[in-house]
Structure 1
Amino acid sequence: MTTARHLRRGAAELAAPFPPLLAEAERLAATVLMGEHGRRRSGMGDEFWQYRPAVEGDEARLIDWRRSAKSDVHFIRQREWQAAQSVLIWADRAASMGFTSDKEIPAKGARANILTLALSILLVRAGERVGMANSVTPPRSGEPQLLRMAQELTTEVVDGDYGAPQLTGLRPNVRAVFLSDFMGDIAPIEAALTKAADRGVRGALLQILDPVEEAFPFNGRTIFESMSGALKHETLKAGDLRDRYLDRLAARKDALSTLARATGWQYHVHHTDQPGSAALLWLYTALERGR
């Protein structure tokens, strides 16, 4: 009896974060007017659209055995309404994403998580498949997939001060979204986007910053410390660093924008003191443009 009670309590504690996270994501998603992703449709979906090779996660009942018999590959016969796209999302969960300058402002990571789920809700309800870019599980549609993603997002993972895109589930011709502050080494970001472009993957970069990171309102004696505590710098004249810092931040934004253009991606900056709905609408629209 004691074991069962402990198991039930443990399950309740594990599931506790999901409803609030999903509820907030639902509210955010509801602020964005649902639109089409440009798919051709035929009302009830009776008109043939195309054949495509079967991939992991496809149900056997969807295979067109007559077409598949002509080759060594199984094919799915898609009708227009079934021609769903797959979208992979990477939400940075490194230590830097835990920063917030004010208790009334969400941390960067919290905003990234909400945007990830809200975007996934919109995509799933538009008939798309979604998944986490760092997961071996292929993109899927349906409410159960949203719960799986919520579980991944609420599992604490902190790997260093700054994150880099993880592309475990990257496949040719899917779309992708990266949400991060992109304040660490830019080389892994360049490598990830180059790899994605080589596979025909396009998508969106959303740089999430706290307003303090834009303004640098520091003067006098200041101790700057990374979220993990691994990096620390003390200065008596913080104001003297403002121009150099802002120049480097502008250079980083320019580098990200240039990299996005070169690889066919979209780039945007979002501040955590602004409504998440604007960022969500931008992401949704960016995926339409990147088709």
Structure 2
Amino acid sequence: MTQTSADLRAQADAASAHLPGLILSAERLAAMIAPGAHGLRRAGPGEDFWQYRPAHSGDTARSIDWRRSARSDAQFVRDREAQTAQAVGLWVSSGQGMTYTGGTDRPSKLQRAQVMALALAMVLLRGGEKVGLLGQQARAGRIQADRLAEHMATATPRDTDSDAPQILTLRPNQRLVLISDFLGDPSWVGDLLDRAAGMGVRGVLLQVLDPDEETFPYSGAVDFRSLSGGMRHDSRDASGLRQAYLARLAERRDWLLQRSRAAGWHFGHHSTDHAPAHALGWVYQVLGG
């Protein structure tokens, strides 16, 4: 059956119905984080002091820091740290597992991840940096935040419980932020970090979980099913699984932390029953480190 333009418009309106709410939530969250250019840790036309260095033959008298030089027999130049726009790529998992929430009083993992990703983009864009979704062109400017919000609002969750970014879309010297629950097969994480390390790509892995996934509060007979319907486990005594589950979760987090550190990345985690500002501020700070 051929769709009319009215049908297409109605579907588009329904798909983007929560777009204003997403933007408003992200703007409120972004307002809690102070934007600023990220230093590149090399001499350049920035504003922040980096280091003193001995003066060279090509340095002018104006560039000499005479106060510092007066304390020794040599002349010193006060270097400032170069600051420039960075291309930052964002990726939010769209697996079915991300749509989970254990209570009506808190957002799904996907909703929280999207708000945090968009808020981070807004902060970076206000700081003059270029931002884009992984695999798409990174752009600067306020309108880019609107593009990102529209894409997130209209994105359709995958049929599978988890998904993975396209590793071949990595570009040298990017900064990446990958947000997921990281509860599925983690092999892609190791492959991506290995490739990233070889390309000079640095970034952050942020695990977002529901508090029920953090504490496993179940007891008695529980029928566990994945949201995609691909997995099922019928337990007669759910509380008897708690310690094994928590041990596996701790093991997964330790693996993610160690692999991240080995690649020069950062790993953090966030629970949807906590305010997102602290986690977002941490991501912003380490992204510029």
The alignment's TM-score, normalised by the length of structure 2, stands at 0.80
**Contact between 1:178 and 1:204, CA under 8 Å: does it hold in 2?**
yes
Q: How does 1:93-172 map to 2 (within 5 A)?
A: 93-133=94-134, 135=135, 137-154=136-153, 155-167=155-167, 169-172=169-172
Q: Give the whole-Å Cα distance in 2 for the aligned partners of 1:241 and 1:8.
A: 48
Question: How far off its partner does 1:30 sit?
Answer: 0.4
Change (3 A) 1:226 1:12: closer
**Contact between 2:37 and 2:128, CA under 8 Å: does it hold in 1?**
no
Change (3 A) 1:130 1:169: farther
Q: Give the whole-Å Cα distance in 2 for the aligned partners of 1:141 and 1:128.
A: 6
Q: Give the whole-Å Cα distance in 1 for the aligned partners of 2:7 and 2:108.
A: 32
Q: Give the whole-Å Cα distance in 2 for the aligned partners of 1:164 and 1:97.
A: 12
Question: How far off its partner does 1:9 sit?
Answer: 5.3
Deviations 1:113-152 (A, max 9, x none): 001100000011101111111x3x3111112221221122
Deviations 1:176-234 (A, max 9, x none): 01100000011111111111111110000101111111111111111111011111100
Q: Give the whole-Å Cα distance in 2 for the aligned partners of 1:112 and 1:186.
A: 19
**Contact between 2:222 and 2:235, CA under 8 Å: does it hold in 1?**
yes
Q: Find the counterpart in structure 1 of residue 270 from structure 2.
A: 270
Q: Which moved more, 1:260-269 or 1:25-34?
A: 25-34
Question: Aligned Cα RMSD in Å?
Answer: 2.0
Structure 2 segments unaligned to the other structure (5+ residues): 48-81
Question: How far off its partner does 1:252 sit?
Answer: 0.2
Q: Find the counterpart in structure 2 of residue 176 from structure 1.
A: 176
**Contact between 1:29 and 1:122, CA under 8 Å: does it hold in 2?**
yes
Q: Give the whole-Å Cα distance in 2 for the aligned partners of 1:259 and 1:4.
A: 49
Give 1:280's aligned amino acid.
L
**Contact between 2:218 and 2:239, CA under 8 Å: does it hold in 1?**
yes
3-state SS of paired residue (1:220): coil
Q: Find the counterpart in structure 2 of residue 50 from structure 1.
A: none
3-state SS of paired residue (2:234): strand
Q: Give the whole-Å Cα distance in 2 for the aligned partners of 1:92 and 1:185.
A: 13
Q: Find the counterpart in structure 2 of residue 91 from structure 1.
A: 92
Q: Which moved more, 1:207-216 or 1:10-19?
A: 10-19
3-state SS of paired residue (2:288): helix
Q: Give the whole-Å Cα distance in 1 for the aligned partners of 2:145 and 2:32.
A: 18
Give 2:87's aligned amino acid.
S
The alignment's TM-score, normalised by the length of structure 1, stands at 0.79
Q: Find the counterpart in structure 1 of residue 35 from structure 2.
A: 34
Q: Find the counterpart in structure 2 of residue 232 from structure 1.
A: 232
Q: Find the counterpart in structure 2 of residue 48 from structure 1.
A: none
Change (3 A) 1:108 1:176: same
Question: How far off its partner does 1:42 sit?
Answer: 5.7
Give 2:243's aligned amino acid.
D
Change (3 A) 1:159 1:194: farther
Q: Find the counterpart in structure 1 of residue 61 from structure 2.
A: none
Q: Give the whole-Å Cα distance in 2 for the aligned partners of 1:244 and 1:13.
A: 42
Identity rate, percent: 41
**Which of the pair has more CA radius of gyration?**
2
**Contact between 1:165 and 1:189, CA under 8 Å: does it hold in 2?**
no
Give 2:143's aligned amino acid.
P
Structure 1 segments unaligned to the other structure (5+ residues): 44-79
Question: How far off its partner does 1:165 sit?
Answer: 2.6
Deviations 1:4-29 (A, max 9, x none): 76676566545533222111110110
Q: Find the counterpart in structure 2 of residue 215 from structure 1.
A: 215
**Contact between 2:36 and 2:124, CA under 8 Å: does it hold in 1?**
no
**Contact between 2:177 and 2:203, CA under 8 Å: does it hold in 1?**
yes
